Amino acid sequence: MDMALPIVNATTAALARVSAAFNAPLARAVVFGVHIDGHLVVEGLLIAVIVFQLSRKSYKPPKKPLSEKEVDELCDEWEPEPLCPPVKERSHIDPAILESAAGPHTTIEGKEVVNFASANYLGLIGNEKLIDSCVGSLEKYGVGSCGPRGFYGTIDVHLDCEAKIANFLGTPDSILYSYGISTIFSVIPAFCKKGDIIVADEGVHWAVQNGLYLSRSTVVYFKHNDMASLASTLEKLTRGNKRTEKIRRYIVVESIYQNSGQIAPLDEIVKLKEKYLFRVILEESHSFGVLGKSGRGLAEHYGVPIDKIDIITAGMGNALATDGGFCTGSARVVDHQRLSSAGYVFSASLPPYLASAAVSAVNYLEENPSVLANLRSNVALLHT
């Protein structure tokens, strides 16, 4: 274009002289009802030059795709890393091999030891009623359930168990999952999508962190079990920020933190949640059946009505001495998960004998609330 401009100017000047020469006789010529003035010729020529410049291809270095031979050479040269890092002798952990049930006393390599490692809070391992109900289930239903919940994997024991748990906690409905940790990392992505905001405690355990990562929402952490930090985080996120009012906001906390053993102050969390309009997801794996006057969990412990907490999840592998997990909340919360929770829809259901064990465990808890007093006195003993 730089070269073209002087040329255009020269052309224009020449044309001006030419048209001036023609102007006099052509001034009164009319073609198609339009006066042909000299300047129209000049403008037409200018437009022609501009169009010519625009239509010229700009200069680009030519692209040279790799030839087959070059691709072959690259493939031959490439060396992958080994699939796993080499074994370091020092990092060898040999877990203890139990030879009997993981009750309060267990046998390891022939020696009887006191078991402080299992999360057997209510002492239900080895309980006669539990084992009898499991035996009954095994003889009737076999071991596995052989199918996901949607395709004939729903056995009536599952429905009984869900109803029982919902009854015990006082919520409308509940939903069973087949594995403890898969509960929380299926529930969080089912409700929190990309673009939502989640405020989570720093000390949540791996399964919760995995769920937060899979949900692809924005996660903001607050200091472990520090209510002042939570309040200031919520304040920062909502103050003056119009956008946060339109997207979904969640707080994720655990009732008893697996990594540190602290109890979350639920009453303050509920006050903050109502002030800033967030929804609470409470992970109760270690407190269900442990806290509260009758074992109903953190809400009873603090005297908070259970319907103030939006979603409660828990794994049953701790106090209830079975496996699997459940999630409760309002009816809509539970129904949504039946269609869109990955760990529920795409995975085989809980083995029926574990579901009947859960039912008998909850029955036991309802009938013998004194076992909680035992637990509490033991805990107090160890703390002093």
User: 312 to 331, contacts with other proteins by CB under 8 A?
Assistant: 315, 317-318, 321-323
Whose CA is closest to 231, among 266, 258, 268?
268
Q: Least distance to other proteins from the beta carbon of 373, Å?
A: 21
Q: Least distance to other proteins from the beta carbon of 177, Å?
A: 9
Q: Which residues of 293-311 are buried (b: 16+ CB within 10 A; e: fewer)?
A: eebbbbbbbbebebeebbb
Which CB atom, from 200 or from 357, has the smaller least distance to other proteins?
357
Q: Please tell me whether residue 12 binds other proteins under the rule CB under 8 A.
A: no
The one-letter amino acid code at 65 reads P
Q: Please tell me whether residue 233 binds other proteins under the rule CB under 8 A.
A: no
Which of 4, 16, 125, 237 lies at the binding interface for other proteins (CB under 8 A)? 125
Which CB atom, from 282 or from 319, has the smaller least distance to other proteins?
319
Contact 347, 182 (CB under 8 A): yes
What is the token pair recorded at 301? 């412990």
- Cα-Cα-Cα-Cα torsion 329, 332, 336, 337, nearest 10 degrees, comes to 20
- Bridge partners, 201 (sequence order): 222
Residues numbered 340 to 379 that lie near other proteins (CB under 8 A) are 342-343, 346-348, 350-351, 353-354, 357
Q: Please tell me whether residue 85 binds other proteins under the rule CB under 8 A.
A: yes
Q: Please tell me whether residue 195 binds other proteins under the rule CB under 8 A.
A: no
Q: Please tell me whether residue 52 binds other proteins under the rule CB under 8 A.
A: no
Which CB atom, from 38 or from 126, has the smaller least distance to other proteins?
126
Q: Which residues of 90-114 are buried (b: 16+ CB within 10 A; e: fewer)?
A: eeeeeeeebeebebeebeeeeeeee
Alpha carbons within 13 angstroms on the beta-carbon side of residue 288 total: 28
Q: Which stretch binds other proteins (CB under 8 A): 74-82, 232-240, 243-251, 302-310?
A: 74-82
Residues numbered 130 to 159 that lie near other proteins (CB under 8 A) are 130-131, 134-135, 138-147, 149-156, 158-159
Residues numbered 87 to 106 that lie near other proteins (CB under 8 A) are 87, 91-93, 95-103, 106
Which CB atom, from 168 or from 177, has the smaller least distance to other proteins?
177
Which CB atom, from 129 or from 223, has the smaller least distance to other proteins?
129
Which CB atom, from 234 or from 357, has the smaller least distance to other proteins?
357
Q: Least distance to other proteins from the beta carbon of 144, Å?
A: 5
Q: Return phi, psi of residue 214, to 5°.
A: -70, -25
Cα 362 to Cα 125: distance, rounded to the nearest angstrom = 14
Contact 295, 365 (CB under 8 A): yes
